[in-house]
Amino acid sequence: MSAISRLSTSRFLCKACRRNTRLPMSSALTKTSHGSRAFATDSEMVPFCGWSMPVQYKDGVLPSHLHTRQHASLFDVSHMLQFKVHGSDRIKFLESLVVADIAGLADYTGTLSLFTTEDGGIIDDLIINKTPEHLYVVSNAGCADKVLEHLQAVNNDLGVALEVLEDKALVALQGPQAAKVLQSGVQSDLSNMFFMHGGVVEAFGIKDVRVTRCGYTGEDGFELSVDKERAVDLTKALLESKEADVKPAGLGPRDSLRLEAGLCLYGNDIDENTTPVEAVLVWTIGKRRRAQADFPGAEIILRQIKEKANRKRVGLVSKGPPARAGANILDADGNKVGHVTSGCPSPCLKQNIAMAYVPTALSKPGTALHLEVYKKRIDAQVVKMPFLPTNYYFGK
């Protein structure tokens, strides 16, 4: 078990994620175990949260996006922070930092949760998976340093140990044919593994592959955690599958896919100045946790649930030039009432979509608003999210 160590870092502005991230002092971008091999072929590499990552492949973002929706794509997400929490009080320890009811999870299941501040802001979003032996957690690459520092800052008198999985790679197989592809390489029946369920399997002859049925595209799919020395073997097996046409996909389609699915990107749509209530993520707060009011920021968050927050994350649709992050939102009288946090042309819906924060009074679906794009006023309308129905697997 490895101890958590703090890397010596310098600051830089990552254009790909539009927020401050960290790089090693050498200023060299970290490569994933696939970076110079299976995933790098025919790809355009960019700096992203201190890593060298593929943004798109030779087919381009639009074809890759549609391929994921229609077939299956493989994403290298090894830059994400993976760690385990060990110890008899591991649930008590992590529940002191997040809003989830981890104790209420069944073994081999998981949930999306949030690290929150005492002011109710969101430090990061994360996936927590419960097993009989430990908690397995995946959180964002851009928040890795502050999350580890946050975990270390807790007065840990519970005998809990953190294991950062630096020897693991992570890939995401996403799309309607993902299950068919993975099933060809595992013995266990994947039809019995539902959304947010997981376990350890042998995949394509590779032992101890941790599989979680989840992803960030809105499609059925799996995240696979594998030893770094076997990561390329697993990647090749999936990309060379005879069960379906699996193609590698980069950050570009991953962003447009998650936006169609109404999923937040940390640093754009949620941050430490945003509460779960404003972000419409109240569903991540377990009923028991609400009743006990024992998570960071509970007083502020529970008050907002009762009285409603002043602003709310909404979906917007528009035509004409697409609004990007930072675009102003105007009401019918031309007053600035908010800003766009994420936006792009939707490949599937053939119209522009965006996420934004507006006053709660203007958040009702059907509300007419305006967007400032290239100094032009564009008509927009509030709509429900997700923009596109999700296809998570909950059983036959």
What is the model's pLDDT at position 160? Answer: 92
What is the model's pLDDT at position 29? Answer: 52
Distance in angstroms (rounded) separating the CA atoms of residues 356 and 217: 19
What is the model's pLDDT at position 159? Answer: 82
Helix, strand counts (H, E) of the chain: 8, 22
Q: Which residues are annotated as a binding site for substrate?
A: 223
Q: What is the DSSP string of 178-229?
A: HHHHHHTT-SS-GGG--TTBEEEEEETTEEEEEEES--SSSSSEEEEEEEHH
Higher pLDDT, 86 or 55: 86
Q: Where does the pLDDT of residue 87 fall: very low under 50, low under 70, confident under 90, or very high at 90 and above?
A: very high
Cα–chain center distance at 195: 15
Q: Return the closest-CA partner of residue 137 out of 84, 95, 86, 198.
A: 84
Q: DSSP letter at 108?
A: T
In the predicted model, is pLDDT for residue 363 greater than 50?
A: yes
Distance in angstroms (rounded) separating the CA atoms of residues 89 and 261: 35
In the predicted model, is pLDDT for residue 14 greater than 70?
A: no
CB 222 within 8 A of CB 182: yes
CB 356 within 8 A of CB 316: yes
pTM: 0.89
Distance in angstroms (rounded) separating the CA atoms of residues 58 and 6: 37
In the predicted model, is pLDDT for residue 15 greater than 80?
A: no
Q: What is the DSSP string of 340-370?
A: EEEEEEETTTTEEEEEEEEEGGG-STT-EEE
Q: Where does the pLDDT of residue 35 fall: very low under 50, low under 70, confident under 90, or very high at 90 and above?
A: very low
**Average pLDDT over the chain, rounded to an integer:** 89
Kindly report the number of other CB atoms within 10 A of residue 106's CB atom. Answer: 8
In the predicted model, is pLDDT for residue 59 greater than 60?
A: yes
What is the model's pLDDT at position 52? Answer: 67
At the topology level of CATH, where does 311-387 sit? Elongation Factor Tu (Ef-tu); domain 3 (2.40.30)
Distance in angstroms (rounded) separating the CA atoms of residues 170 and 292: 35
What percent of the chain lies above the pLDDT cut of 90? 80
**Helix 61-70 / helix 251-260 crossing angle, nearest 10 deg:** 60
What the block records as the tokens of 196 is 């947010």
What is the model's pLDDT at position 26? Answer: 35
Q: Give domain limits for the chain.
A: 311-387
In the predicted model, is pLDDT for residue 96 greater than 80?
A: yes
What is the model's pLDDT at position 396? Answer: 75
Q: Which residues are annotated as a binding site?
A: 223
What is the model's pLDDT at position 251? Answer: 84
